[in-house]
């Protein structure tokens, strides 16, 4: 059984009525509120559940040195050296799951997928990054597995130990007890250019090691797929805050289920990304795949090895949904065609950004002399820093270029003052009140707030959220007051926000969108 799950199309949210029936809610501008901007269905690609075993075979020469790009006599790139260099170090990952971890999955029920009644196995890919057995893969490939087996292309098999995971980037680090293993040389994802040739290497569709070629189609893509229920098993939204960091490399190299955790390399055979997701209406390759940049991977893996967990700095700014940003800029007399950067719609009280003097309306155009154009790029850049690090921001304020040095904070939550909570209402363009007993009984809820008033032209109005909408959870946390909303938003260090609620007609919904970093 394939665990790839579709997510929403622009302008739509895949939702379910309280009665359990499936329905589709169309807001007047819900598409502006969804981080998923593709018209195709998006799916996590690497995780394939199946019954029984499929034998993996392959013999390759070990070569740990990066290959030199080769051009054939007719002027076309020659991928043979890079493929020969990389395939020995891309492994097949097999996982085993207990019955009680895959049974009674409400996400499967929502999409009409059959329930598991027997122990299940999973299949994915991984990349050897050290000769002593450290392997990088996707978190969703090994999530909640009771056993992890690694098969090398030369047929050697190892039991793998899970060193650590980072759901916010969908990365995991494994270790096998071995030495003198082949490795994939690390490249520099910052130097990747749109249009350059790349290879995707992995174990798709339970096949042997497979290499496909394509080009880099885009960089800095955020597709709203991480920290979603159903990746490798159901996760209760109440137990997981949405802290996803997404700034994918997009490629048209063929990537299929089973490729997750595999390598995306350049024509020199250097690792530039970890294959993670696809855009598809069928769950298989349909044109575009997405990979985690290797530079972000190095930070995550380095933290796991050194600290046992990932440590990240927190900037403390909020920014709008990309589709609404142009509207906000024009309303302030700014031509979005002439100005690039990330528009700040709010600064979190007590944050490093506030202390450095950043204000609503500032446009962040660079970090430490590196240009940023999208919220995804901003979040990914900030995620590379540690609490206490200082970053220099290039900002545009009132048409003038400025510099601001910000000291990033850590993950600890701060006390939310009444003034700060009221400021949140202004940023969201809505006012809130706790749900009453009648609402609790009608919707079957024990907690939540509802929207009492929408400010015309505000954030909620632009997103098509009507008055009377009930919000039960923000970033997976129950909310009963405006202060609870503010605390939950502060917990999203990447700026990704998830709302779980019910529309006035009783339809349940889930919205994912970016709000800050």
Please say if the pLDDT value at position 44 is more than 80: no
Does residue 447 share a domain with residue 384?
no
Supply the DSSP string of 25-66, one letter for each residue. Answer: E--SSGGGG-S---SSPEEE-S-EEESS------------SP
Same domain membership, residue 504 and residue 359: no
Question: What's the CA gap between 218 and 221, in Å, rounded?
Answer: 7
Residue 260 among the catalytic residues: yes
Do 102 and 159 belong to one domain? yes
Given the residues 3, 8, 123, 170, the one annotated as active site: 170
- pLDDT for 286 equals 59
Between 199 and 19, name the one with better pLDDT: 199
Residue 107 lies in a domain: yes
Ligand-binding annotation for 3, yes or no, is no
Give a yes or no: residue 30 inside a domain.
no
Looking at residue 336, its pLDDT comes to 80
Q: Is pLDDT at 6 greater than 50 in this prediction?
A: no
Interatomic CA distance for residues 320 and 312, integer angstroms: 22
Claim to verify: residue 330 and residue 449 sit in the same structural domain:
no
Instruction: Report residue 218: phi and psi, to 5°.
Output: -165, 165
Whether 442 and 395 share a structural domain: no
Rg (CA), the chain: 23
* Helix residue ranges per DSSP H, 58-198: 80-86, 99-102, 106-110, 139-142
The reply, when asked if residue 259 is annotated as ligand binding, is yes
Per the model's pLDDT, the better-predicted residue between 85 and 227 turns out to be: 85
What mean pLDDT is reported for the chain?
75
pLDDT band for position 425 (cuts 50, 70, 90): confident
Quick one: pLDDT at residue 80?
A: 94
Rounded Cα distance, 367 and 395, in Å: 9
User: What value, to the nearest 5°, has the Cα angle with vertex 366 and ends 170 and 381?
Assistant: 15
pLDDT at position 105: 55
Q: How far is the C-alpha of 98 from the C-alpha of 517, rounded, in Å? A: 37
* pLDDT tens digits along 474-515: 877 888 887 778 777 665 555 567 788 898 888 888 777 665
Instruction: Determine the Cα–Cα distance for residues 39 and 461; give it in Å rounded to an integer.
Output: 23
Q: Is 92 a catalytic residue?
A: no
Confidence at residue 174, expressed as pLDDT on a 0 to 100 scale = 96
Q: What is the dihedral of CA 366, 372, 374, 378, to 10 degrees?
A: -70
- Which pLDDT does position 69 carry in this prediction? 52
Residues 367 and 426 in one domain: no
Together in a domain, 359 and 225: no
**What is the structure's pLDDT at 159?**
95
CA dihedral 226, 227, 233, 236 (to 10 degrees): -160
pLDDT at 126 over 80: yes
Q: Is 260 annotated as a binding residue?
A: yes
Q: Which two tokens stand for residue 295?
A: 């530079």
Of 307, 335, 357, the domain-final residue:
307
Question: What is the rounded CA–CA span in Å between residue 316 and residue 1?
Answer: 42
Number of domains in the chain: 3
Give the closest residue to 169 by CA, choosing from 90, 126, 222. 222
Do 232 and 333 lie in a common domain?
Answer: no
With 60 as the cut, is the pLDDT of residue 49 above it?
no
Domain with 381, as residue range(s), is: 317-407
User: Which residue, of 284, 307, 330, is where some domain finishes?
Assistant: 307
Active-site position among 140, 247, 303, 379 = 140
Give the domain CATH number at 126.
2.40.10.120
Question: Residue 125 — pLDDT band, cuts 50, 70, 90?
Answer: very high
User: Which of 225-239, 339-353, 449-463 has the largest mean confidence?
Assistant: 339-353
Residues belonging to the chain: 517
| 416 or 12, greater pLDDT | 416
Whole-angstrom Cα distance, residue 491 to residue 414? 10
Angle between helix 482-490 and 418-428 (nearest 10)? 80
User: Measuring CA to CA, how many Å separate 248 from each of 255, 297, 476?
Assistant: 14, 11, 24
Residues 296 and 322 occupy one common structural domain: no
Which pLDDT does position 32 carry in this prediction?
A: 34
Q: Is 170 a catalytic residue?
A: yes
* Contact (Cβ atoms closer than 8 angstroms) between residue 173 and residue 164: yes
Q: What would the pLDDT profile of 186-223 be if each residue is shown by its tens digit?
A: 999 999 999 999 999 999 876 788 999 999 999 988 77
The answer as to whether 215 is a domain residue is yes
What is the residue-wise DSSP string for 198-230?
Answer: EEEEE-GGG-SSEEEEEEEEEEEE--S-TT-TT
Residues 497 and 512: beta-carbon distance below 8 Å = yes
Whether 240 is covered by a domain: the verdict is yes
- What ranges in 343-467 are assigned the alpha helix state H? 352-355, 375-382, 418-428, 437-443, 459-463
Residue 296, judged by CB atoms within 10 A of its CB (0-12, 13-18, 19+), counts as buried
Residue 240 in this model has a pLDDT that exceeds 70: no
- Does residue 40 have a pLDDT over 50? no
pLDDT at 39 over 70: no
Which pTM was predicted? 0.63
273 is in an annotated binding site: no
Higher pLDDT, 304 or 476: 304
Residue predicted with more confidence, 495 or 35: 495
- What confidence category does residue 404 fall into, taking pLDDT thresholds of 50, 70 and 90? very high
**Residue 170 marked as a ligand binder:** yes
Establish how many alpha carbons lie within 13 A of residue 444's alpha carbon, considering only the half-sphere containing its beta carbon.
8
Q: Are residues 388 and 286 in the same domain?
A: no
Task: Give residue-wise pLDDT tens across range 326-363.
Answer: 777 788 788 888 888 888 888 888 889 999 999 988 99
- Residue 99 CB contacts under 8 Å (≥ 6 apart), including other chains: 116, 117, 118, 119
Residue scoring higher pLDDT (107 or 457) = 457
φ/ψ region of 84 (left if φ > 0, alpha if ψ in -120 to 50, else beta) reads alpha
Check which CATH number belongs to the domain holding 450 and give it: 2.30.42.10
Q: Which residue has the higher pLDDT, 112 or 180?
A: 180
């Amino acid at each position: 059984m394939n665990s790839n799950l579709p997510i929403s199309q622009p302008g739509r949210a895949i939702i379910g009525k309280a009665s359990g029936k499936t329905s589709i809610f169309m807001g007047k501008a819900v598409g502006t509120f969804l981080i998923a901007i593709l018209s195709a269905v998006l799916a996590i690609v690497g995780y394939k559940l199946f019954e029984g075993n499929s034998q993996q075979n392959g013999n390759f020469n070990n070569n740990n040195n990066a290959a030199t790009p080769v051009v054939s006599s007719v002027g076309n790139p020659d991928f043979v050296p890079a493929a020969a260099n990389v395939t020995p170090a891309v492994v097949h990952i097999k996982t085993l799951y207990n019955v009680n971890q895959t049974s009674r999955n409400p996400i499967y029920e929502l999409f009409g997928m059959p329930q598991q009644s027997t122990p299940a196995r999973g299949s994915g890919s991984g990349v050897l990054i050290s000769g002593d057995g450290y392997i990088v893969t996707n978190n969703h490939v090994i999530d909640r597995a009771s056993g992890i087996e690694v098969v090398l292309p030369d047929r050697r098999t190892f039991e793998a130990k899970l060193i650590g995971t980072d759901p916010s980037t969908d990365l995991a680090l494994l270790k096998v007890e071995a030495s003198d293993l082949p490795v994939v040389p690390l490249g520099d994802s910052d130097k990747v250019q749109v249009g350059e040739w790349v290879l995707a290497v992995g174990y798709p569709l339970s096949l042997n090691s497979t290499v496909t070629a394509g080009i880099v189609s885009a960089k800095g893509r955020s597709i709203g797929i991480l920290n979603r229920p159903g990746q490798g098993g159901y996760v209760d939204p109440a137990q997981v805050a949405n802290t996803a960091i997404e700034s994918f490399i997009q490629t048209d190299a063929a990537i299929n289920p089973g490729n997750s955790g595999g390598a995306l390399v350049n024509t020199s055979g250097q690792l530039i990304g970890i294959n993670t997701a696809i855009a598809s209406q069928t769950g298989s390759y349909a044109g575009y795949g997405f990979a985690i940049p290797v530079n972000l991977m190095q930070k995550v893996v380095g933290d796991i090895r050194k600290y046992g967990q990932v440590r990240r700095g927190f900037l403390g700014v909020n920014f709008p949904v990309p589709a609404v940003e142009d509207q906000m800029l024009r309303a302030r007399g700014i031509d979005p065609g002439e100005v690039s950067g990330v528009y700040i719609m709010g600064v979190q009280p007590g944050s490093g950004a506030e202390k450095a003097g950043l204000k609503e309306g500032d446009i962040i155009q660079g970090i430490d002399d590196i240009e940023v154009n999208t919220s995804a790029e901003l979040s990914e850049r900030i995620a590379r820093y540690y609490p206490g690090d200082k970053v220099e921001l290039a900002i545009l304020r009132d048409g003038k270029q400025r510099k601001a040095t910000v000291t990033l904070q850590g993950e600890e939550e701060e006390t939310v003052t009444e003034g700060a909570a009221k400021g949140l209402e202004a940023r969201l363009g809505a006012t809130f009140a706790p749900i009453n007993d009648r609402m609790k009984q009608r919707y079957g809820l024990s907690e939540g707030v509802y929207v009492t008033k929408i400010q015309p032209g505000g954030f909620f109005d632009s997103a098509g959220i009507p008055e009377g909408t009930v919000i039960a959870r923000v970033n997976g946390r129950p909310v009963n007051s405006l202060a609870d909303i503010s605390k939950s938003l502060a917990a999203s260090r990447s700026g990704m926000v998830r709302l779980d609620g019910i529309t006035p007609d009783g339809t349940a919904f889930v919205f994912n969108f970016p709000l800050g970093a």
